[in-house]
Amino acid sequence: MDKLVITGGKRIEGEITASGSKNSSLPIIAATLLSGSGTFTLHRIPDLQDITTFRQLFDHLGAETAFSHNTLTITTANVQSVLAPYELVKKMRASIYLLGPLLARFGHARVSLPGGCAFGPRPIDLHLMAMEKLGARITIETGFIDAVAEGGRLKGATIDFPVSSVGATGNALMAAVLAEGTTIIRNAAAEPEIEALCHFLQAMGADIRGTGTTELIIHGCDSLRHVEFSNIFDRIEAGTILAAAAITGGSVTIRGVIPSHMESVLQKFSDAGCRIETTDDTVILKSTGRLKATDITAEPFPAFPTDMQAQWMALMTQAEGTSEITDHVYHERFNHIPELNRLGAHIDIEGNWAVVHGPQALSGTKVMSTDLRASASLVLAGLVAEGTTEVLRVYHLDRGYERIETRLQNLGAEIKREKYSEFG
Ligand code: UD1
């Protein structure tokens, strides 16, 4: 296995271009299944394990893919199978994104139930509810979701989500664009990744109104075409790099961003005492290293994202005063707390509410986490911890950050990747 070995105390300084977004790549890739018309060309796709898993799923379905220099080409004309097997689905919960497009194009989909998750229950009831509303008959047996469109084609409907869900909104959208008639999605997720999916589907010929809002109106069409498309930047990677500069008292310029996608996060950096400047596609953060305790509450967009909660907590271990961190999206997403405390932080937790008592000097040791963003928070802590921090099980980080160690090295961090064995 790989680990990251970090020697703390170096300032993060320099310029970098943001990577493409993982969380928009996944539904966009899934949406290519909606058309068998030709070859899709997708630019700015990050080179991540989740993308590799998706390509394996596509191979299994009978699609052809090629990936080079962050450009992915996909031909879905020869897709024969509608089965997404457990061996691949278990590696990535986002495989559930295959359900909507397969069902919409072929009238049938058989997708393995995704397994558990490191930070609490992550149900798929809303995905299934949306498909049923659109006229699918769903049965669950032997660990598979078997969905069949009544009469062979989905039918437009009103879908009112009781909870804002990125994944269920994406799936409902992808199913609705080929359904017969009009679909209204209420309480839709308005995250930039869903907006990007809308833009992609519109480029394919879909009729979607209300893009970027919580009410989407879709007039279904008979067929969609292949397109060339450029993905949006990864706002969570960008936020993590800003946090690296903020925690080390450094300064960083990130190019290729859309500042409005990270307004709530930029505001919090500013509240914490960092200087933030933006242009149309650039964000600059300057930190003196003197940080003020700043509370955050993770909620759906445009509020502070749950995917930045762990990184913010690492930052607050170095801030003057007490900060309160609440996660309303995932109530149990706090794996990082015991590990940050092992590095010397003082964080208390009660339910989905954590209190960080800062600043505390951190000192390096071996740490490990069981999910992606929690691991990112440990890397941030390692950047300021005295001595050497070893972040084990880097495969979690590799699911969401492309070459994180190279990117941080280029910005001045002392960080390297090494092999190790967990059995001594
Ligand atoms: C996506 C992101 C993930 C991010 C999350 C919230 C991807 C691949 N992943 O995950 O990084 O942390 O959005 O911004 O884009 N829920 C239900 N029933 C469902 C579906 C969700 O109750 O059927 C609940 C979840 O338990 C959670 C809330 O809805 O409390 C939001 O989850 P959701 O937006 O669906 O997260 P994902 O799409 O899985």
**Cβ-defined contacts of 159-163 (< 8 Å, 24+):** 159/129, 159/130, 159/133, 159/134, 159/183, 159/184, 159/185, 159/186, 160/186, 160/187, 161/126, 161/130, 161/185, 161/186, 161/187, 161/188, 162/126, 162/187, 163/126, 163/187
What's the chain's length in residues?
A: 424
Is residue 114 a contact partner of residue 93, using CB atoms and an 8 Å limit? yes
Q: Which residues are annotated as a binding site?
A: 22-23, 93, 122-126, 307, 329
117: pLDDT strictly greater than 90: no
In a domain, 68, yes or no: yes
205 pLDDT band, cuts 50/70/90, is very high
Distance CA 378, CA 109 (A): 39
Q: Are residues 289 and 325 in the same domain?
A: yes
Question: What is residue 93's predicted lDDT score, i.e. its pLDDT?
Answer: 87
154 phi, psi to nearest 5 deg = -70, 155
63: pLDDT strictly greater than 90: yes
Q: Are residues 237 and 316 in the same domain?
A: yes
In a domain, 92, yes or no: yes
The residue segments making up the domain with residue 213 are 22-230
* Ligand 1 center–CA 233 separation, angstroms: 19
> Which of these, 294, 193, 297, 202, lies nearest to 235 by C-alpha position?
193
In a domain, 184, yes or no: yes
Whole-model pTM? 0.97
pLDDT per residue as tens digits for the range 150-170: 999 999 999 999 999 999 999
* Ligand 1 center–CA 95 separation, angstroms: 13
75 pLDDT band, cuts 50/70/90, is very high
Q: Tell me how many degrees the CA angle 257-46-335 measures, rounded to the nearest 5.
A: 90
pLDDT per residue as tens digits for the range 342-382: 999 999 999 999 999 999 999 999 999 888 999 999 999 99
Q: Which atom of ligand 1 is nearest to the CA of 372?
A: 11
Q: Are residues 194 and 239 in the same domain?
A: no
At which of 171, 198, 230 does a domain end? 230
Q: Are residues 193 and 319 in the same domain?
A: no
Q: Residue 23: CB within 6 Å of ligand 1?
A: yes
The CATH number of the domain holding residue 261 is 3.65.10.10
What average pLDDT does range 401-408 have in this prediction? 95
